[in-house]
Structure 1
Amino acid sequence: MSLDATLWAWKIRQKQKKGGSLKPLKKLVLLSLCDRASEEHCAFPSVARLVEDTEIDRKTVLKIIDELIEDGLIIDTGERKGRTKQVKVYQLLGVNGRETVPTTVLFDTEKDDLNSPNNGTVPTTEQFQQFHERVPTIPLKSPNVGTRNLSKNLSLESKNIKSWFCFKKLREEIYLADDSIDFESIMNSKWAEREKRAFEIYNSEKTMSDDLMIYHFTDWLINAYRNKYSNNQNPALAKPSNTVSSAQQLSEKQIHIFAQKLSNHPEFASKFSEPGESYEKLATRIAVKLENPVQAKKWESYLKQVGFNGTLGTA
């Protein structure tokens, strides 16, 4: 965070342009950029991060970024950051000054006047005037300086505080999708972490809640296991079951989870949804029909596309 940039952003006054974004929204995006700026007044939050910070939709955020560039408040440096090297680095224009660090010197009673402003214990006139405008920051040569070095100085626990990943929720989702899969064996495998990285890279620019990330990662992980890794795994990976080869019926939990998944299945939803029907209402109707074993059997092919592994009976 740059204090000078934040103070600068608060003082910016803009005229409402015809067809342009609302001034309060532009102020909010600009402040968000300043909040994530380095001491060189450069900021490179992803669009998804700006959307999360400001609670403004993605389309409006992109429009405001273009308007801030047109207004001469920021400029695209051409540099790219992030894992995908696609996150744009913006330079804030017009910010005056940089954060300063109060310095101290050791006492030398024989040579220095204790009342001298150069001693380090008594502020100079300039330091006193700036006292209420500036705050001490970490020295520029410190490894802790700037937002770019932040992750290097945090413990693993601190870096994972805002992570979307949750073992407990993932275990529950996998169990609901297919209770024959041994969750612990999958998560202890080497390929699971590799698939998690691939999933994060694929969704790096998308805005999804943590629960939705877990929901989609469950399908990603199960599909990867079945299509790429199941033949190479120890037979103990799947839990033994006395009813694997026999016809099954959906449990109450499975009906709920598969109803949600089918309501978001493009082909299924386009075929069975009613005009103007929301995903929630469609999921409710699907759940009611899945309680009927005969109807569930008719949709078995769709159920397998969203994670069901087994054979349904009609009684």
Structure 2
Amino acid sequence: MSLDASVWAWKIEMPAKKGGALKPLKKLVLLSLADRAGEDHCAYPSMSRLVEDTEMDRKTVLKIIDELIEDGLIADTGERKGRTKQVKVYQLVGVNGRETVPTTVLFDAENDDLNSPNSGTVPTTEQFQQFHERVPIIPLKGPNVGTRNLSKNLSLESKNKKTWFCFKKLREEIYLADDEIEFESIMNSKWAEREKRAFEIYNAEKSMSDGLMIYHFADWLINAYKTKYSEKPSSGAFGNSSSPKTNSTGLTEKQIQIFAQKLAHHPEFAGKFSEPGESYDKLAARIAVKLENPAQAKKWESYLKQVGFSGSLQGNAA
């Protein structure tokens, strides 16, 4: 899914049309398309999928698709997907992506091989090639591009199998997140393996690369250590989960995880605090870690109340 496309769809003000569909229904169909868009901001859900997402009948969905095309919000690319090659591919018109622009460098002017009309600045991500060679271009609408095809592109060891775990990479991620945490103490504890099993069960149905699994597991362990086990004596094991269920903010561990997910899908919040190209799961993991900080949680209290939190948080806003 594309976070940029979802944020864009939430902010769109639907035009009213005499005899047309209701604006809320049009918004719902547009959000369903945005939720299934890839990095090129194209989406190709089947009609049955749109019907299931919106809970509207097929005829109404088709009418709304035509209206969205007339409004200039989506466009039929002419491309067809699926086994029968009949699923239409729609381009979301007007989504502002946040892709990073390649930086450029100037080649050394003293290099004789480069003193030609073809020399100059080139992206640093490309290696120097002779003028008669061509740099291969991957089409944006190719089968290997877009989050919809992610599971097909992952290597076999990257589909959440047990081979995803890497001790060295996990140590690096935890150190980068909090260099005050003693990694060996965590991994030698009795609860670490238990949390690893819980993490694998929680993510069993998700398709993530090995690196992303390690990234999320590091946050998972840090959160578990701080909220459930850090108060226990460090005698080689931190014991079980009988420690207090609330941290210094007054939020329980379960509340932190729930509200982190909700804030990640909050259009205004995500638009302000997400990073370019960041997925909902990665954003939610960052939010969960920050919600453990009383000052940060207090700062976001107004957003938390918008997604269902009631009461008052401890701590002072920074």
Identify the TM-score tier after normalising by the shorter chain: 0.3 to 0.5
Larger CA Rg, structure 1 vs 2: 1
Q: TM-score, normalised by structure 1?
A: 0.35
Q: TM-score, normalised by structure 2?
A: 0.34
